[in-house]
Amino acid sequence: MGKRLVTLVTCQWSDLSFEELCKTAKQMGYDGLELAVWGNAFDLDKAYEDDSYIDYIKATLKKYDLKLPVLATHIIGQCVCDLPDPRLNNFAPSKYANKPKEIKKWAIESMKKAAVVAKKLDVKVISGFTGSPIWRYLYSFPQTSEEMVTKGFNEVKRTWNPILDVFKENGVKFALEVHPGEIAFDYYSTKRLLEVFKNRPEFGINFDPSHLLWQGVTPHIFLEDFISRVYNVHMKDAAVTLNGRSGLLGSHIDFGDIRRGWNFRSLGHGQVNFEEIIRVLNAYNYQGPLSVEWEDSGMERVSGATEACAFVRKTDFEPSSVKFDDAISNSK
């Protein structure tokens, strides 16, 4: 097993141009990108329609000696199965503002385009969200019936299967980031979703320990149990800081505020046990990238993401090729 690629999730860097993004990522020490398909850095529609733009992306990656193993489609995928929500106006093109049916249609078609673009870029995995038609029913008051939950899971299956058909046609897999706000957000909702999709191979998991930790789910146990479906790994830390006043639901206080009961932290500054995660990845021979998703509102991002890259390189130890006690054996 060789050292895994250390890549940068660019969702939080999409204010930069693609050239600036590549230059910055290289200066921070990264091997490649998990490229978000929105913002100033990348134009999904242009990539779908214009092969010369694909050539530009490939040439710029080569210029900075960066790999591109994964595309990220989070804000688009969120719009596929969410209920009408004015917050989705922030994700969809402005011409669809307050038009939920148009937003959904745009999102579905854009996810299909992403699979085609991935093939053009020789990318095999697309990470992202699915959205959830039942997330707002999480706390079961007014009462949430099992019928409502079943209907929600089936709606996700019905809506995403045609998208996944296009993924299959283009030799691409989708990795859902298990995350609050999605149809699968913890251990048992993930198990149920995979069963609903009948373990369809195009549909897998983007493992991100930070979203599990604060929910009380042990990240490396989740990883081991679902490892056969893990197509991408995010390296992201979090810290739970309950103090008798704060709670896990966040009190409608924005990320980064120290009054919250938990926050995302730059790698090595939180409570995720990354050593156990690496041991599971080694045990099951995961060869995909380790992708830093840097979200720490209390730290300057370039210095933080530079430190995070170094942290991953230090943490990603290779497994032994021999048993430690082989050297003391008497066998010849």
Using one digit for the tens of pLDDT, what is the confidence trace for 254-274?
999 999 999 999 999 999 999
How many whole angstroms separate alpha carbon 128 and alpha carbon 92?
15
Banded pLDDT at 325 (limits 50, 70, 90): low
Q: List the beta bridge partners of residue 292.
A: 8, 235
Q: How much is the pLDDT for 330? A: 66
Kindly list the structural domains of the chain, giving each domain's residue range(s) and its CATH number in brackets, ordered by start: 6-322 (3.20.20.150)
Q: Distance between alpha carbon 294 and the CA centroid of its chain, in Å?
A: 12
**What does the pLDDT read at residue 134?**
98
Number of other residues whose CB lies within 10 A of the CB of residue 284: 13
* pLDDT the model gives residue 323: 75
pLDDT band at residue 328, thresholds of 50, 70 and 90? confident
**pLDDT tens column, 22-38:** 999 999 999 999 999 99
Residue 323 burial (CB count, 10 A): 8
Distance CA 252, CA 265 (A): 19
pTM over 0.85: yes
The encoded tokens of residue 24 equal 């910055």
Distance (Å, rounded) from C-alpha 286 to C-alpha 233?
9
Mean pLDDT of 229-250: 97
pLDDT at 329: 67
Tokens of 127: 């990470």
**DSSP 8-class letter at 175:** E
Q: Which residues contact 81 (CB under 8 A, 6 or more apart)?
A: 130, 131, 132, 133, 155, 156, 159, 160, 183
